[in-house]
Copies of this chain bind each other. A is one copy, B any other.
């Protein structure tokens, strides 16, 4: 059975640092703190919306979280400011290792999927802008399930869409909550630890693979998979 490797997007393939740079214009020195609150609330809102069975498209979580941060930091952003900040998420660059890493995996004979909390159209648009869309065999959005990661239903849906079954579907993410959700749902997992100081939640479970970039991923995954990934075929 052919292996599917599904990638989370933000922080995993796409570098969100440019959002931080844009925030500086509005908040000055507080940019780092503002970004942290915005991102944490964005995720918290998705967890709570999922738990409440009160789905909204992910950009609503992002906007509500921005409004929270604006009130919290008393930055008094105008509607135009908020619109400008929301737009930044749509045109971020991929990390340096992504294009060659994905190509190597593709040459190794696996399916590559994008798997995100975002809307399908937004994901495609973002990957196209980052010039990597043509490397994917498919995109899977939680919007079909109307819930958010780490709801088991979204990982079940991914495994179904991939056609590889749970035991041959990998989730690669820089977000520990995403990795743990996939582990608990029976998928194979790789934690992409892009930030060396990031902490993996101490829940008594571990990813199959831990790495700091995509280039080394193929061999690591091949070592943990019985079929479908052949490192010898790869342009590594």
Contacts and interface: CB of A to CB of B under 8 A. Distances in A.
A138 interface: no
Contact of A64 (B47, B53, B201): B201
Given A201-B68, A202-B67, A51 B51 contact: yes
A99 B126 CA distance: 55
A57 interface: no
A157 interface: no
Given A199-B71, A202-B64, A202-B67, A181 B52 contact: yes
The range of chain A's interface size is 20 to 34
Contacts of A199: 68, 71-72
Chain A binding site: helix, strand, loop or mixed by DSSP?
helix
Contact of A150 (B51, B64, B148, B203): B51
A45 B201 contact: yes
B202 A71 contact: yes
A195 to B, nearest CB: 12
A152 B151 CA distance: 15
A121 interface: no
A122 interface: no
Contact of A152 (B44, B53, B68, B147): B53
A50 interface: yes
B202 A68 contact: yes
A51 B201 contact: no
B202 A52 contact: no
Interface in A153-211: 177, 180-181, 184, 199, 201-203
A129 interface: no
Going nearest first, the 3 A-B pairs with the smallest beta carbon separation are: A47-B47, A67-B202, A51-B51
Interface of A: 40, 44-45, 47-48, 50-54, 64, 67-68, 71-72, 147-148, 150-152, 177, 180-181, 184, 199, 201-203
